[in-house]
């Protein structure tokens, strides 16, 4: 009997808690469910949490949305697919979240998209970058803010063409994100530089790279260019080992995400100068609106912003706009308000394209350089995502809805 | 493939062999003397890396130079050695006589505690240590650059081996360690101060673990997952080399290092499998490793369910509980049903393990293998053969049963700690296959979209389906436990020699029990997959096995219903506490240790003992 009665008491207590709060305030807050890998991917997700916290505080200080406050119930998604859906279930059925947002790893993002479709609840994938979330596994309930792998790789391709390199090696973490990015690179390389070839591919398991063996295997193939998708601890070890063994000398290196401060800071002074990367050169941003965000963030948290900070901040404001325009927190109304909607964000206008639920947010492309004790970006430009998005025909060919 | 590449690859292999040996030899020394398989050895290794990665840069700021660097490494190892003393005095000393299941769990409790403490103290981000001064530049070998630090590592292994050899051969402490490894009772009888000897051994073991971790900082960043990845490999080294044998560990590390270095060339995507496959093959041919000796029988004693008169109210109580569960949907609380569904699934998982541990005395440390096989079996047949849930669940059960049949064939030949290690190896092999066979299993991504058929997709209907299947399976298993077959298993558990003497085919019985238990765990796994909508390799990992063991431990190993209660309590606690704190593992670890030390009978066992006392 212990089990049954215990659950019952808990349920009773929970019910009481709910009813009493509802009685106290006329307008209960709108609850948003947030889940992310705060323990396993802290480098990105902790600044991201600061970002959404800051937006939440600002919004509620101005009276919230539709006359109600916003509340974010945040959980750790454990970094695995089955834990994430379990947490999502808790957020929806116990906490009463009206929509879900977050997750970091692409495989978790795919599982969340699948969950959103199964349970018919809006899910905004803030960070997961695999194409699948808005393409093959896309559905009407799942939306993404950041430019996906194909878009970011597309932005790097210009550099690949300019370098004239024909022999390429790929190194990517062996899970959804890395596989998708490597796939996009191979596809775009074939389209844009037909006579180029891939001479080596290395797919170490995420977080378990054997840097020495990986570097010597790439070296062995004698490529002229390297396309890197590694991030986090894998990247740090790969760069150190590659620097020691001279892997990057006289080679063109294109690298996804490496210019983001979350991955650049741990490299300290071993930054591989000259890599062409996507990233976030926050220290050189001059646009007044964006600069104001950066200054406010630094003042509030006494820390420099990461890309995650910006993303967390943007996502919550976009959710506020969505609910405001929808006029309620009803799922169908929110979907209607999201599709083809224009948002005015700190980095400028962003549109949520209706056919694949992919936002037009762009990325910063530049070269890595050492600035004092840490790395940073130089020669960078901001590339809007619009012109790099998959065409309507491409979307229609793979999406099932 | 040219000659210089092979040479470099061999050097890579040697340097990882050396690192592995230093990390593992402490484990084998500690086992030799104390007979405890110390799961926390990997945690000590991780602490060593974290301390060195934090301490050495500070020291280098004071005075930059090789001397400072190496002094920092040694200091870090010494600090870890002192932590080892603390662990011995506070915990291990109290469980030398306990059954090995409790020893394994208690040291795993330390692993959990250390994981959270490490993040609390050193922060969640990975720390990359400084490079060794003077060893930054690579050396040129056969026209290729090779990091000079790796050469130092290659030399470090044999140096450590030599020093340990000197210590064991030329000092009184070494003589005592060797004597204790051969016959613990004898040296106790000769009046040797065992407390000092054990504490000293733990210090040495922890020092070596810390040294192993500290030496890694210029090449790998200190991160929170180091403990489990190194302990799994260290187990392979010690078991393959023969537990308690330092030269055996060295030989095993050499083989594994080369296997990994060249395995990458031949099977680039199955490096993890190769290592555990080696362990399984060695154990199948030489059950005690290269230089190990058979365990002295009597050093460990099996514990398990005892026969007791059935209470006349047992049937009524069971009916009442089933009735209570069946009426849960009346509350119309979707979340409560979700929790209840998972409680039922884990109850079946833990109960299937009880058939092995409590009834047969087969201490399996890799039960997650069959839970995961069931989940993967169901998910794969859904994905590749488009089977509906009704066919996918039995398919998962079948796959788990076949897996258990194969693993069981090897396992039943072993006993004690080697058996536990073999089951662990089996689970790790299956984990590695699921993790690295990306084309079929999806690798790290797992398989998504594993949802029940339409009729069962509602929270209520899926809950009722789970209830029906779990109740059926549990009642069936209870019937088996109380049948002559179950009594035969218990006889073999309590006295193998006598059971054999009266003509019971022990191995056959155990093999059958292993298969049955695997099948039941597989059913639980399949139900779990459909409840979560996806599967991923963590289902097959060590923490999943430990979850099942913890449920057993909480409920009480000596009772039939213990695992069921244990599953309920653990799931409810996890559900209530996990959202409130980030220190869940710390709490879980401390509770495991507390149960082992002061509450070894578990909840149901304690209640029963109390009732019997009153009567």
CATH of the domain at B452: 1.10.3470
What architecture (CATH level 2) is domain A28-148+287-362?
3-Layer(aba) Sandwich (3.40)
Q: Cα separation of B188 and B438, whole Å?
A: 53
| Least confident range of A17-31, A351-365, B22-36, B106-120 | A17-31
What is the reported pLDDT for A296? 94
Q: Cα separation of A205 and B269, whole Å?
A: 9
Q: For strand B144-147 and strand A99-102, is the pairing parallel, antiparallel, or unpaired?
A: unpaired
Question: B536 — contact with chain A (CB < 8 Å)?
Answer: yes
Residue with tokens 């795919």: A110
B60 within some domain: yes
Among B176, B198, B231, where does a domain finish?
Answer: B231
What is the reported pLDDT for A8? 53
Window 189-208 of B, Cβ < 8 Å to A: none
Q: Cα separation of B90 and B80, whole Å?
A: 15
Is residue A226 pLDDT above 90, yes or no? yes
Residues in a beta bridge with A131:
none
Q: Cα separation of B489 and A97, whole Å?
A: 51
Burial class (CB in 10 A: 0-12, 13-18, 19+), A382: middle
Size of interface A-B (CB pairs under 8 A): 179
Burial class (CB in 10 A: 0-12, 13-18, 19+), A193: middle
Closest chain A residue by Cα to residue B139 = A245
A210·B260 Cβ contact <8 A? yes
B562 within some domain: yes
Question: B444 — contact with chain A (CB < 8 Å)?
Answer: yes
What is the reported pLDDT for B270? 67
CB B422 within 8 A of CB B414: yes
Note whether B210 and B333 are same-domain residues: no
- pLDDT mean over A384-392: 91
Non-local CB neighbours of B364 within 8 Å, separated by 6+ positions: B353, B356, B357, B411, B419, B420, B423, B514, B517, B545
Nearest to A2 among B150, B334, B568 (CB): B568
DSSP tag of B213: H
What is the reported pLDDT for B268? 64
Is residue A30 pLDDT above 90, yes or no? yes
Query: What share of chain A has pLDDT > 70, as a percent?
Result: 94
B221 within some domain: yes
Beta carbons within 10 angstroms of residue A48's beta carbon = 29
B328·A207 Cβ contact <8 A? no
Q: Is the dihedral of CA B544, B545, B550, B552 positive or negative?
A: positive
Q: What is the pLDDT of residues A66-108, one digit of tens each?
A: 999 999 999 888 888 888 998 999 999 888 999 999 999 999 9
Closest chain B residue by Cα to residue A111 = B448
Provide the CA B526 distance to its chain's centre, in angstroms. 22
The shortest C-alpha distance from A174 to chain B (Å) reads 7
Which residues from B are below 8 Å from A85, CB to CB? 532-534
Q: Could you tell me which of B518, B522, B367, B540 has the C-alpha nearest to residue B446?
A: B540
Window 472-511 of B, Cβ < 8 Å to A: none
B82 within some domain: yes
What is the reported pLDDT for A343? 93
Note whether B401 and B525 are same-domain residues: yes
Note whether B509 and B392 are same-domain residues: yes
What is the reported pLDDT for A26? 56
Total residue count of chain B as it appears in this document: 615
Q: Cα separation of B6 and B265, whole Å?
A: 10
Nearest to B335 among A42, A43, A90 (CB): A90
Q: What is the DSSP string of B467-485?
A: HHHHHHHHHHHHHHHHSHH
A28-148+287-362 and A150-285+363-388 in the same fold: yes
Note whether B25 and B161 are same-domain residues: yes
Non-local CB neighbours of A226 within 8 Å, separated by 6+ positions: A168, A169, A170, A171, A218, A247, A248, A251, A252, A253, A254
CB B362 within 8 A of CB B510: yes
Note whether B337 and B225 are same-domain residues: no
Q: Mutual orientation of helices A42-61 and A288-301 as an angle, nearest 10°?
A: 100
CA contacts within 13 A on the Cβ side of A172: 25
Question: B151 — contact with chain A (CB < 8 Å)?
Answer: no
Residues in a beta bridge with A144:
A125, A358
Which residues from A are below 8 Å from B449, CB to CB? 114
Q: Cα separation of A64 and B63, whole Å?
A: 55
Q: Cα separation of B300 and B172, whole Å?
A: 28
Is residue A186 pLDDT above 90, yes or no? yes
Nearest to A174 among B150, B340, B438 (CB): B438
Question: B451 — contact with chain A (CB < 8 Å)?
Answer: yes
Total domains, chain B: 2
Is residue A293 pLDDT above 90, yes or no? yes
Q: Cα separation of B398 and B373, whole Å?
A: 9
Among B231, B246, B266, where does a domain finish?
Answer: B231
Closest chain A residue by Cα to residue B229 = A208
Nearest to B535 among A82, A233, A240 (CB): A82
CB A210 within 8 A of CB A240: no
B446·A212 Cβ contact <8 A? no
B448·A43 Cβ contact <8 A? no
Q: What is the pLDDT of residues A135-179, one digit of tens each?
A: 988 999 999 999 999 999 999 998 888 888 999 999 999 899 999
Q: Is the dihedral of CA B465, B470, B476, B478 positive or negative?
A: negative
Question: B154 — contact with chain A (CB < 8 Å)?
Answer: no
Structure tokens that stand for B559 in this block: 């009772």
Closest chain B residue by Cα to residue A214 = B264
Nearest to A175 among B136, B138, B443 (CB): B443
Nearest to B536 among A8, A82, A106 (CB): A82
Which of 1.10.533.10, 3.40.50.2300, 3.40.50.620, 3.40.50.410 is the CATH number of A150-285+363-388?
A: 3.40.50.2300
Structure tokens that stand for B363 in this block: 């201490």
Is residue A125 pLDDT above 80, yes or no? yes
DSSP H/E element including B205: helix B194-215
Non-local CB neighbours of B213 within 8 Å, separated by 6+ positions: B23, B44, B45, B46, B47, B48, B49, B50, B52, B76, B80, B222, B226, B230
Q: How far is CA A353 from each of CA A99, A117, A345, B374, rounded to the nearest angstrom?
A: 19, 18, 15, 41
The shortest C-alpha distance from B239 to chain A (Å) reads 23
- pLDDT mean over A46-71: 93
Point out the residues of chain B with pLDDT beneath 70: 1, 268-271, 295-302, 307-309
Q: Cα separation of B472 and B285, whole Å?
A: 39
What is the reported pLDDT for B283? 81
DSSP H/E element including B525: helix B506-532
Question: B221 — contact with chain A (CB < 8 Å)?
Answer: yes
Q: Mutual orientation of helices A232-244 and A211-220 as an angle, nearest 10°?
A: 60
Query: What share of chain A has pLDDT > 90, as a percent?
Result: 65
Which residues from A are below 8 Å from B535, CB to CB? 81-82
The shortest C-alpha distance from B596 to chain A (Å) reads 22
Nearest to B446 among A11, A107, A268 (CB): A107
B223·A233 Cβ contact <8 A? yes
Q: Mutual orientation of helices B194-215 and B3-34 as an angle, nearest 10°?
A: 160
Q: What is the DSSP string of B320-367?
A: HHHHHHHTGGGG--HHHHHHHHHHHHHHHHHHHHHIIIIII----S-T
Is residue A266 pLDDT above 70, yes or no? yes
Note whether B68 and B194 are same-domain residues: yes
Q: What is the pTM of this model?
A: 0.87
A4·B324 Cβ contact <8 A? yes
Domain that holds residue B221: 3-231
CB A275 within 8 A of CB A255: yes
Nearest to B12 among A212, A219, A244 (CB): A212
Which of the residues A83, A87, A111 would you substitute to probe the B interface, choosing the one with the greatest number of B C-beta atoms within 10 Å? Answer: A111
Beta carbons within 10 angstroms of residue B145's beta carbon = 18
Total residue count of chain A as it appears in this document: 401
B598 within some domain: yes
Mark out the alpha helices in A62-175 (DSSP H runs). 81-89, 106-119, 149-163
Closest chain B residue by Cα to residue A221 = B1
Domain ranges in chain A?
28-148+287-362, 150-285+363-388
Which residues from A are below 8 Å from B450, CB to CB? none
Window 172-191 of B, Cβ < 8 Å to A: none
Of A60 and B288, more confident: A60
Among B231, B262, B289, where does a domain finish?
Answer: B231
B291 within some domain: no
B446·A7 Cβ contact <8 A? no
Give the 3-state secondary structure of residue B138. strand
Q: What is the pLDDT of residues B392-417, one digit of tens each?
A: 999 999 999 999 999 999 888 887 77
Question: B135 — contact with chain A (CB < 8 Å)?
Answer: no
Is residue A304 pLDDT above 50, yes or no? yes
Which residues from B are below 8 Å from A119, CB to CB? none
């Amino acid at each position: 009997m212990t089990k049954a009665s215990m659950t019952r008491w808990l349920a009773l207590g929970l019910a009481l808690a709910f009813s009493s709060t509802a009685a106290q305030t006329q307008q209960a807050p709108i609850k948003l469910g947030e889940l992310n890998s705060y323990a396993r991917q802290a480098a990105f997700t902790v600044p991201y949490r600061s970002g959404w916290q800051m937006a939440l505080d600002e919004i509620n200080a101005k009276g919230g949305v539709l006359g109600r406050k916003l509340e974010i119930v945040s959980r750790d998604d454990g970094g695995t697919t089955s834990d994430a859906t379990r947490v999502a279930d808790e957020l929806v059925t116990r906490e009463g979240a009206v929509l879900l947002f977050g997750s970091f790893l692409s495989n978790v993002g795919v599982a969340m998209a699948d969950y959103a479709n199964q349970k018919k609840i809006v899910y905004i994938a803030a960070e997961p970058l695999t194409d699948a979330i808005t393409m093959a596994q896309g559905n009407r309930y799942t939306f993404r803010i950041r430019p996906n792998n194909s878009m970011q790789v597309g932005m790097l391709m210009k550099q690949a063409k300019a370098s004239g390199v024909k022999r390429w090696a790929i190194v990517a973490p062996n899970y959804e994100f890395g596989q998708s990015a490597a796939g996009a690179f191979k596809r775009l390389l074939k389209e844009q530089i037909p006579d180029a070839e891939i001479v080596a591919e290395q797919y170490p398991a995420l977080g378990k790279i054997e840097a020495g063996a990986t570097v010597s295997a790439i070296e062995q193939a004698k490529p002229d260019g390297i396309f890197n998708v590694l991030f986090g601890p894998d990247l740090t070890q790969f760069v150190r080992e590659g620097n020691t063994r001279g892997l990057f000398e006289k080679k063109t290196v294109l690298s996804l995400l490496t210019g983001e401060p979350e991955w650049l800071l741990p490299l300290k002074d071993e930054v591989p100068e000259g890599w062409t990367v996507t990233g976030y050169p926050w220290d050189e941003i001059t646009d007044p609106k964006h600069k104001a965000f950066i200054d406010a963030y630094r003042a509030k948290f006494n820390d420099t912003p990461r890309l995650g900070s910006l993303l967390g901040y943007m996502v919550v404001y976009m959710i506020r706009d969505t609910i405001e325009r929808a006029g309620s927190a009803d799922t169908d109304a929110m979907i209607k308000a999201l599709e083809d909607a224009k948002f005015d964000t700190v980095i400028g206008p962003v549109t949520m394209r209706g056919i694949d639920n992919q936002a037009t947010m762009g990325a910063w492309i530049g070269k890595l350089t050492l600035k004092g004790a840490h790395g940073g970006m130089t020669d960078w430009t901001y590339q809007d995502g619009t012109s790099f998005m998959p065409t309507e025909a491409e979307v229609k060919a793979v999406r099932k809805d | 493939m040219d000659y210089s590449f092979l040479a470099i690859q061999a050097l890579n292999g040697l340097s990882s062999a050396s690192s592995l040996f230093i990390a593992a030899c402490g484990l084998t020394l500690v086992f030799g003397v104390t007979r405890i398989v110390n799961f926390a050895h990997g945690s000590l290794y991780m602490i060593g890396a974290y301390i060195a990665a934090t301490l050495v840069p500070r020291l280098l700021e004071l005075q930059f130079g090789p001397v400072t660097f190496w002094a920092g490494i040694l200091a870090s190892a010494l600090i870890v050695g002192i932590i080892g003393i603390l662990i011995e005095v506070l915990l291990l000393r109290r469980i030398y006589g306990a059954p090995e299941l409790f020893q394994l769990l208690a040291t795993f409790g330390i692993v959990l505690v250390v994981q959270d403490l490490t993040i609390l103290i050193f922060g969640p981000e990975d720390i990359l240590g400084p490079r060794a001064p003077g060893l930054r530049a690579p050396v040129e070998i056969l026209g290729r650059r090779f990091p000079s630090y790796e050469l130092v590592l290659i030399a470090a292994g044999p140096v450590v081996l030599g020093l340990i050899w000197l210590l064991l051969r030329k000092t009184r402490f070494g003589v005592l360690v060797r004597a204790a490894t051969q016959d613990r009772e004898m040296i106790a009888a000769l009046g040797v101060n065992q407390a000092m000897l054990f504490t000293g051994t733990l210090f040495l073991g922890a020092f070596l673990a810390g040294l192993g971790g500290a030496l890694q900082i210029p090449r790998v960043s200190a991160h929170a997952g180091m403990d489990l990845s190194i302990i799994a490999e260290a187990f392979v080294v010690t078991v393959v080399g023969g537990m308690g044998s330092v030269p055996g560990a060295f030989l095993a590390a050499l083989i594994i290092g080369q296997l990994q270095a060249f395995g990458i060339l031949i099977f680039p995507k199955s490096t993890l499998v190769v290592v555990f496959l080696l362990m399984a093959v060695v154990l199948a041919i030489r059950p005690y490793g290269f230089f190990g000796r058979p365990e002295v029988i009597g050093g460990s004693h099996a514990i398990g369910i005892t026969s007791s008169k059935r209470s006349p109210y047992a049937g009524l109580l069971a009916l009442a509980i089933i009735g209570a569960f069946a009426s849960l949907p009346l509350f119309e609380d979707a979340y409560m049903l979700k929790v209840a569904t998972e409680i039922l699934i884990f109850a079946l998982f833990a109960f299937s393990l009880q058939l092995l541990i409590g009834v047969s005395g087969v201490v399996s440390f890799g039960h997650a293998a069959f839970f995961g096989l069931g989940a993967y079996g169901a998910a794969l047949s859904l994905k590749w053969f488009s089977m509906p849930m009704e066919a996918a669940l039995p398919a998962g059960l079948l796959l788990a049963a076949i897996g258990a049949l194969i693993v069981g064939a090897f396992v039943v030949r072993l006993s004690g700690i080697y058996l536990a290690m073999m089951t662990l190896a089996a689970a790790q092999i299956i984990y590695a296959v699921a993790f690295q066979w990306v084309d079929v299993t999806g690798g790290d991504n797992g398989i998504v979209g594993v949802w029940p058929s339409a009729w069962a997709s509602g929270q209520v209907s899926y809950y009722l389906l789970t209830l029906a299947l779990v109740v059926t399976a549990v009642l069936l298993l209870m019937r088996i436990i109380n049948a002559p077959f179950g009594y035969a298993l218990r006889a073999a558990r309590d006295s193998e020699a006598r059971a054999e003497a009266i003509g019971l085919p022990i191995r056959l019985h155990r093999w059958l029990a292993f298969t049955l238990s695997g099948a039941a765990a597989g059913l639980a796994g399949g139900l779990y997959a459909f409840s979560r909508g996806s599967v991923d390799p963590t289902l097959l990992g060590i923490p999943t096995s430990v979850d099942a063991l913890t449920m057993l431990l909480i409920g009480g190993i000596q009772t039939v219903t213990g695992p069921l209660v244990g599953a309920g309590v653990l799931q409810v606690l996890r559900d209530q506490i996990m959202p409130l704190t980030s220190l869940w593992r710390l709490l879980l670890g401390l509770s495991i240790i507390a149960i082992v030390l002061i509450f070894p009978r578990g909840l149901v066992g304690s209640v029963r003992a109390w009732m019997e006392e009153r009567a």
